[in-house]
A and B are shown apart, each in its own frame.
Chain A
Amino acid sequence: MSFDIRVERRLGEARIALDLASDGRLTALFGPSGAGKSSVLNMVAGLLRPDAGRIVVDGVTLFDSDTGIDLPPERRRLGYVFQDGRLFPHKRVRDNLLYGWHLARPETRWMSLDEAVAFLGIGPLLDRWPRTLSGGEAQRVAIGRALLAGPRFLLMDEPLSSLDAARREDIMQVIERIRDELRLPILYVSHDRGEVERLATTIARLGT
């Protein structure tokens, strides 16, 4: 199983519950806004602690409330692409890209800076500051930063939602290539049906 996730979490009045087992290459979590899709991703990333449950990705247990396993985010070996990019504003593009690469152990890296730059076509951006990038450029850099950390799987939280139509198509093709060429398991969150139908190999619904 790529993703074997069973989590429960209470957030204020809302209760988030998900039971998902997927062997798809790109598993889409689909559901309306406010259903807790991002919270599920944060739980898989280790940024939000489930009240109870179990999270196993590609055979590695990241969280298990029964046995008390709860790996911190930095030991889960994931790549997280956020809706808003979240590039570090005080680092140039090159240093953003290399942030996770420097922290990864050499044997866990599977992509070099040159490879990432060629894969994403971001060579001309390397010396720029994040604030000077367009939405599409920033998202490419964010994807590159995630890949360079040598992740075992990717989490993507509405990575297209802040982009215009042309840029969406652009980034969508990048995601398809990650899915088909790099063969990384991807857990993908969206509320856009067309996006999900095109990209997903497995679809899981969250909320009503």
Chain B
Amino acid sequence: MLRIGTTPNPSSEEERLRTDMTPELWSIILLSLKVSGVAVLLTMPVAFGLAWLLARGRFPGKVLLDALVHLPLVLPPVVTGWLLLIAFGNNGPVGRWLTDWFGVTLMFRWTGAALAAAVMALPLMVRAMRLSIEAVDPKLEGAARTLGASPLRTFFSITLPLATPGLLAGAVLGFARSIGEFGATITFVSNIPGETRTIPIAIYGALQIPGNDAEVTKLAIIAVLLSLGALLISEILARRSGLGRGSHVL
């Protein structure tokens, strides 16, 4: 799946990486993909709803909602992690409720890492999706209505398809952001091998011990490739959607 080969020093670096992909490294990568994937899937509907409200809604408190959505972008991530700990920790109001009713614990679990990644990715996803919704010309929706489409059908046949490239862009940005999430995650769910040790946390851990340059390099390259790959995939998806110019993610 991963073709690791473009580094400043291709031949020797490629050789070393190929032979050195240990099961531990693979588990870190898979965990990162799982955490980010779940984070993005969970955030998609929430982000879309918020983006729709901010793009089309008219209600008191819109500015406040906008600010709240953007808070994770500007707050120190460690504060976001601490707030998650307070709310979703085993003694936190939400955390205790989740444990009592659903038997779900988030603290020190990969699910908690996904929650932290989701919260941190939310502002970027909402921003991208909001722009894509705002870019849909309401005049086209009006035209659809005069042709006999109900508001719901107009949404699914006109608004949603036209906004799709932007929604994909939002999802990809969220995914890339989740792959890189560090501060809130390590505060909320710590650094537990196989459970919460994602790529950035593994890099940080490796840097704490001298002589781990090779592992750090490998993880860093993987992080770059994953992020780049995500962006390229979404660009291809956006071009395939048949919208032509103006439908680019990059």
A149 and B242: CB pair below 8 A? no
A47 and B153: CB pair below 8 A? no
Q: What is the size category of the interface that chain A forms with chain B?
A: 20 to 34
Contact of A103 among B153, B158, B242 (CB under 8 A): B153
A34 contacts chain B at the CB level, 8 A cutoff: no
Instruction: Give the most central of A73, A76, A80: most B CB within 10 Å.
Output: A73
Kindly identify, within residues 122 to 153 of chain B, every residue whose CB is under 8 Å from any CB belonging to chain A.
137, 139-140, 142-150, 153
A204 to B142, CA, bound (A): 25
Kindly identify, within residues 199 to 250 of chain B, every residue whose CB is under 8 Å from any CB belonging to chain A.
241-245
A100 contacts chain B at the CB level, 8 A cutoff: yes
B145 and A72: CB pair below 8 A? yes
Proximity bits, B176-219, A CB within 8 Å = 1, else 0: 00000000000000000000000000000000000000000000
A-B interface pairs (CB < 8 A), number: 68
Chain B's nearest CB lies how many Å from the CB of A99?
5
A47 and B146: CB pair below 8 A? yes
Write the chain B residue with the least CB distance to A76.
Answer: B146
Provided the pairs A86-B139, A88-B158 are in contact, do residues A129 and B244 lie with their beta carbons within 8 angstroms?
yes
B161 contacts chain A at the CB level, 8 A cutoff: yes
A97 to B139, CA, bound (A): 17
Chain B residues, CB < 8 A from A155: 146
Provided the pairs A74-B148, A74-B150, A149-B147 are in contact, do residues A131 and B142 lie with their beta carbons within 8 angstroms?
no
B162 contacts chain A at the CB level, 8 A cutoff: yes
B145 and A47: CB pair below 8 A? yes
Chain B residues, CB < 8 A from A46: 145-146
A89 and B148: CB pair below 8 A? no
Chain A residues, CB < 8 A from B150: 72, 74
A79 and B146: CB pair below 8 A? yes
Chain B residues, CB < 8 A from A82: 139, 143
A45 to B149, CA, bound (A): 13
Chain B residues, CB < 8 A from A7: none
A86 and B243: CB pair below 8 A? no
B148 and A149: CB pair below 8 A? yes
Instruction: Give the most central of A45, A74, A131, A145: most B CB within 10 Å.
Output: A74
A100 to B143, CA, bound (A): 10
Proximity bits, A41-64, B CB within 8 Å = 1, else 0: 010011100000000000000000
Chain A residues, CB < 8 A from B137: 86
Chain A residues, CB < 8 A from B162: 89-90
Chain A residues, CB < 8 A from B149: 74, 99, 103
Write the chain B residue with the least CB distance to A108.
Answer: B148
A57 to B9, CA, bound (A): 76
A78 contacts chain B at the CB level, 8 A cutoff: yes
Chain B residues, CB < 8 A from A126: none
Chain B's nearest CB lies how many Å from the CB of A178?
17
Contact of B142 among A73, A99, A100, A129 (CB under 8 A): A73
A167 to B202, CA, bound (A): 66
Chain A's nearest CB lies how many Å from the CB of B143?
4
A104 to B149, CA, bound (A): 9
Proximity bits, B154-175, A CB within 8 Å = 1, else 0: 0001100110000000000000
A88 to B141, CA, bound (A): 9
Proximity bits, A113-136, B CB within 8 Å = 1, else 0: 000000000000000010100000
B244 and A73: CB pair below 8 A? no
Write the chain B residue with the least CB distance to A42.
Answer: B142
Give the 3 A-B CB pairs with smallest separation, nearest first. A100-B147, A103-B148, A73-B145
B interface list, Cβ under 8 A from A: 137, 139-140, 142-150, 153, 157-158, 161-162, 241-245
Question: Besides A45-B142, A86-B142, A129-B244, 12 other CB < 8 A contacts?
Answer: A42-B142, A47-B145, A73-B146, A80-B146, A86-B139, A86-B143, A88-B158, A90-B162, A131-B245, A146-B146, A149-B147, A149-B148
Q: Please, could you name 9 A-B residue pairs with CB atoms under 8 Å apart, sorted by A?
A: A74-B145, A74-B146, A88-B140, A89-B244, A99-B147, A100-B148, A103-B149, A103-B153, A129-B242
